[in-house]
Amino acid sequence: MLPFIENFWKKNKSINLFLEFLAIIIVVFTSVNSMNGIIMGLIITITIFSFQFLNTSYLNMTYVFVLVLLFINFIFLVLSNSFSLNSASTFKYFYVFCRDILIYVLFFYLILKRLDIFTGILKRNLIDRIAFIFLLMGIVYLILPIGHIDFNLKLGSFKQIFNFVFLFFIGRMLAFSESFNENSIKKLSRLIISLGVIFSVYGIMEIFILPYFLGMDPLLFFGGDKYLSLMFGANSDIYGGGTINISGLTGNFYSPAFGMSIRRASSLLIDPVALSFFLSFVLVLNFCYSKTKVLNTILISSCLILTLGKGGILTSLVSITFWALVRFKKIGKLVAFLTFGISAGLFTLFLRTDSSVMDHLNGLTNGVKDFIEYPLGKGLGSSGNLATLVAGSNNNNLISGGESTVGSLLSQIGILGGLLFILLIVLLMLRIKAIKFTNDNQNQLKIFLSGLLMGGFSASLFSEGVFQFNALGLLFLFIAAMISVSEKSKKFF
């Protein structure tokens, strides 16, 4: 038995690293009653996990990275009972630290360790230069004292807008290794599909089955009310402001449709909006790589609908329509017409029954108005949902709200930031089209991914959570890996 366990441990390094991460987090939470315990726990976490993580293969590193990003919300939900409500700020800082340290430390580690590859990428690829300039612009806006915005709020807005660029470069660096090839893209796809199916099954059970067996909302059963109280209590401590609770949960877990509040599926992501966009990505991968396409499509599509995520549903429809237009020119036109009709019908339905739709529309219109008045932007932290939260408590008239990534971006960093963002999306679509793989499934995937980018951009006009790390942020990591794998065959370096 012991040799079997030992062999399994050696062969499945990515799973082992993820389990080690969970074990270390648990060790940290056993000593949170004192600040010294927290500090020691952080030291243990950084030292042991970083040593193991940074010494594994780049392919395993990618697996662990994806697993941690997708499960970190659920991990902290389960462990939230270790904190008292008086320590909400500590809890939120610790959560943000564990999430962000993984993204930013990995980014800088890969840049420093593979500096020659990184500089070569920037020299030879316009798309990487645009992404890097966009990121540098965000850093400049973060550092410069533009507006009278608290730094915590500026940092929160910076991460919301620019984290997908960090994920893009992480994907570029990780895939430039011997362990990454076309087959690795297939393996990574199947990992994401498996996780998406698990999330979908649980999401369906979360709405229709578990409430009857548990006698309560499953999120509350796992301590979701404590988790959310800590998270939003921390927002109040850090930024100032609060949130509305419905049946022990926050308002984003419900959608005001058909004259009532309908519970939205959030699954293990603990975020209905992020789940809708993540599933739109999984649905695309499923069409190309899954052995059980029909069953998976039913499960993923059902959960996607249950999220009531208008942006995620729109992204999926646009992606599938784009694929049909490219793949089947005559039938594609019919599919496009039907999809347009369905989208228009859904939009009209939501406009009539969902009072939050106007918030999404106002996000874009407010951003355009701000852009006209402030062509260079009002500065990070001056627009978006988080900014609205602060404005609600501080009565800051300069801050505008609404749910729109593009509107928020135009308002905060102006015309140049908006142009760079749009140019980056367009160049990515063109670059994906230029990739040539030997496998037909991967060539099909190129079309879907281009459509997904188009759909994501369309959704970003009316949604603020499109490109966050556990939503379509992973799409940029995946696309970057595909680009790097295709470039390695050309022997650029």
**Domain coordinates of the chain in residue numbers?**
114-488
Mean pLDDT across 24-52: 55
pLDDT band (50, 70, 90) for residue 239: very low
Question: At residue 479, does pLDDT exceed 90?
Answer: yes
Of the ranges 142-156, 211-225, 327-341, 430-444, which one carries the lowest mean pLDDT score?
327-341
Distance CA 69, CA 344 (A): 34
Instruction: Count Cβ atoms below 10 Å from residue 282 Cβ, excluding itself.
Output: 27
Query: With contact defined as beta carbons under 8 Å apart, do 46 and 101 qualify?
Result: yes
Distance CA 370, CA 381 (A): 13
Distance CA 132, CA 467 (A): 17
Of the ranges 212-216, 308-312, 391-395, which one carries the lowest mean pLDDT score?
391-395
Average pLDDT over the chain reads 78
Which residues on neighbouring strands pair with residue 246, listed in sequence order? 249
Distance CA 460, CA 463 (A): 5
**26 vs 178: which has the higher pLDDT:** 178
Mean pLDDT across 447-451: 89
**335 vs 86: which has the higher pLDDT:** 86
**96 vs 54: which has the higher pLDDT:** 96
Mean pLDDT across 315-335: 74
How far does Cα 274 stand from its chain's mean position? Answer: 6
Question: At residue 391, does pLDDT exceed 60?
Answer: no
Amino acid (one-letter) located at 414? G
C-alpha distances out from residue 236 to 92, 299, 426, Å: 11, 37, 38
Q: Is 297 exposed, middle or buried (0-12, 13-18, 19+ CB in 10 A)?
A: middle
Q: Is 18 exposed, middle or buried (0-12, 13-18, 19+ CB in 10 A)?
A: buried
Mean pLDDT across 142-147: 78
Q: Is 16 exposed, middle or buried (0-12, 13-18, 19+ CB in 10 A)?
A: middle
Query: With contact defined as beta carbons under 8 Å apart, do 275 and 269 qualify?
Result: yes
Whats the size of the chain, residue-wise? Answer: 493
Give per-residue pLDDT as tens, 278-293. 999 999 999 888 888 9
Mean pLDDT across 122-141: 93
Question: At residue 204, does pLDDT exceed 90?
Answer: yes
Question: At residue 478, does pLDDT exceed 80?
Answer: yes
Amino acid (one-letter) located at 247? S
Query: With contact defined as beta carbons under 8 Å apart, do 298 and 255 qualify?
Result: no
pLDDT band (50, 70, 90) for residue 202: very high
pLDDT band (50, 70, 90) for residue 257: low
pLDDT band (50, 70, 90) for residue 5: very low
CA 384, 469, 452, 307 torsion-angle sign: negative
Of the ranges 104-113, 204-213, 337-346, which one carries the lowest mean pLDDT score?
337-346
**42 vs 211: which has the higher pLDDT:** 211
CA nearest neighbour of 479 among 168, 191, 63, 177: 168
pTM for the model: 0.86
Distance CA 334, CA 338 (A): 6
pLDDT for position 342: 59
pLDDT for position 307: 93
pLDDT for position 240: 45
Question: At residue 167, does pLDDT exceed 70?
Answer: yes
pLDDT for position 258: 63
pLDDT for position 492: 37
